[in-house]
């Protein structure tokens, strides 16, 4: 007994000497163990309201200048003598774009005029044979006059003069309308080629053709506003109107629609564009596209409860456009969705039903 008591006192002394006598925390006992903290997910929300939903019919098309013409010299009249334009240059209607040497054409006109003078004298002689003077042309029977001109060669001389004048006119290329020069490849003093010399484009506005399904025709009408975006600047929208709906359905069940888009100096002939035909539908619950997720192969979104919890809600998408969905609750899945509900629109990718959420300040 005398030996046990001193050993017991020694053990107590060593215990308090090695510690402060306070309870150890879990991480002090095991440094690899961390204290558990509750996870709160930060989200953005909107208050659900009924409003107008812009349904969009989206199609692809290509811009085509309202007026466009390939210009050329008929035949190969020779090298370019005068060139007055460059690609991209604006020209007025009737302006001379280019010309070739006119000397041969002018000689042909001079010869044709001399031939007319010669045959005119012969015409007078033929009329005298019929007992008429050419000065009395109003009293000459039409048949007599016709035969006299034919026998004298006068009609043939007139035709030759017209042909020579056509040849002279073909030495010039003139702008049939105001526009811009494009696709000009031939240079000064080069021989003209048989294909188009250049293209004249009136790009004050553009036509764009696109297809709609026959089931979508009810959403398209003459004069309806459309918006066009290029692939180089998809956020910029250009406004136009539908000018033509082809009254025929092709073998693919599609209908050709044409819209006209005024040019704002950023559009170019031949550009590929995306066309948006919009219709406003009132009284719809509209949410951003980011709010709707697909879980279990069904569309759903998360509402936020007053207690700050995410509530899994199945929905049905009634319509979509480039930014939003029109939705209603999927009652077959027991879902509920009403005006005034707080809908989570971001930070929702990793949420589960009942997750703790907090609105980003």
What is the C-alpha to C-alpha distance for residues 85 and 178, in angstroms, rounded to an integer?
13
Any domain includes 181: yes
Total residue length of the chain: 361
Q: pLDDT tens track of the chain, all 361 residues?
A: 444 444 445 554 444 444 444 434 434 444 454 444 567 899 999 999 999 998 888 899 999 998 999 998 876 567 889 999 999 999 999 999 999 988 888 999 999 999 999 999 998 998 888 888 888 777 888 888 899 889 999 999 999 999 999 988 888 999 999 999 999 988 888 887 667 889 999 999 999 999 999 888 888 999 999 999 999 998 899 999 999 999 999 999 999 999 999 998 789 999 999 999 988 889 999 999 999 999 989 999 999 999 999 999 999 999 888 889 999 999 999 999 999 999 999 999 999 999 999 998 7
* Whether residue 71 sits in one domain with residue 185: yes
Whether the predicted model's global pTM rises above the 0.85 cut: no
The string of pLDDT tens digits covering residues 145-186 is 899 889 999 999 999 999 999 988 888 999 999 999 999 988
pLDDT, residue 77, reads 66
Last residue of a domain, one of 232, 264, 282: 282
Any domain includes 319: yes
What is the C-alpha to C-alpha distance for residues 305 and 361, in angstroms, rounded to an integer?
17
Three-state SS at 147: helix
Q: What does the DSSP assignment read for 302-332? A: EEE-TTSBEEEEEEEEEEE-SSEEEEEE-GG
Any domain includes 215: yes
Question: Which residue range forms the structural domain that includes residue 349?
Answer: 292-359
Cβ-based burial of 36 (10 A; exposed 0-12, middle 13-18, buried ≥19)? exposed
Buried b (16+ CB within 10 A) or exposed e, 222-245: eebebbbbbeeeeeeebebebeeb
* Whether residue 226 sits in one domain with residue 313: no
What is the C-alpha to C-alpha distance for residues 98 and 269, in angstroms, rounded to an integer?
23
Any domain includes 50: no
Total domains in the chain come to: 3
The string of pLDDT tens digits covering residues 268-295 is 999 999 999 988 889 999 999 999 999 9
Last residue of a domain, one of 282, 306, 337: 282
């Amino acid at each position: 007994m005398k030996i046990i008591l001193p050993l017991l006192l020694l053990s107590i002394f060593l215990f308090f000497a090695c510690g402060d006598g306070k309870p150890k925390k879990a991480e002090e006992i095991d440094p690899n163990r961390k204290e558990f903290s509750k996870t709160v997910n930060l989200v953005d929300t909107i208050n659900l309201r009924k409003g107008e939903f812009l349904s969009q019919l989206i199609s692809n098309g290509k811009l085509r200048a309202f007026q466009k013409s390939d210009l050329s010299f008929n035949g190969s009249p020779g090298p370019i003598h005068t060139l007055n334009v460059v690609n991209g240059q604006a020209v007025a209607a009737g302006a001379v774009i280019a010309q070739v040497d006119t000397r041969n054409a002018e000689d042909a006109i001079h010869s044709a005029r001399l031939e007319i003078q010669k045959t005119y004298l012969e015409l007078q002689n033929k009329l005298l044979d019929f007992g008429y003077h050419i000065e009395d042309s109003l009293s000459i029977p039409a048949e007599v006059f016709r035969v006299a001109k034919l026998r004298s060669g006068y009609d043939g001389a007139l035709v030759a003069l017209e042909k020579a004048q056509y040849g002279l006119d073909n030495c010039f290329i003139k702008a049939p309308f105001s526009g811009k020069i494009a696709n000009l490849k031939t240079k000064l003093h080069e021989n003209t080629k048989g294909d188009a010399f250049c293209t004249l484009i009136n790009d004050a506005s553009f036509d764009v053709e696109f297809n709609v399904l026959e089931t979508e025709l009810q959403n398209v009408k003459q004069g309806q506003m459309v918006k066009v975006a290029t692939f180089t600047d998809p956020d910029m929208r250009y406004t136009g109107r539908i000018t033509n709906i082809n009254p025929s359905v092709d073998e693919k069940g599609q209908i050709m629609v044409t819209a006209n888009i005024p040019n704002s100096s950023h559009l170019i002939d031949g550009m590929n564009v995306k066309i948006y035909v919009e219709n406003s539908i009132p009284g719809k619950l509209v949410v951003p596209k980011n709010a709707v997720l697909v879980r279990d192969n069904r569309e759903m979104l998360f509402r936020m409860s007053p207690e700050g919890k995410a509530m899994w809600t199945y929905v049905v998408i009634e319509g979509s456009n480039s930014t939003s969905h029109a939705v209603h609750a999927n009652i077959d899945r027991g879902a509920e969705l009403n005006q005034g509900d707080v809908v989570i629109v971001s930070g929702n990718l990793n949420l589960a039903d009942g997750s703790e959420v907090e609105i980003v300040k």
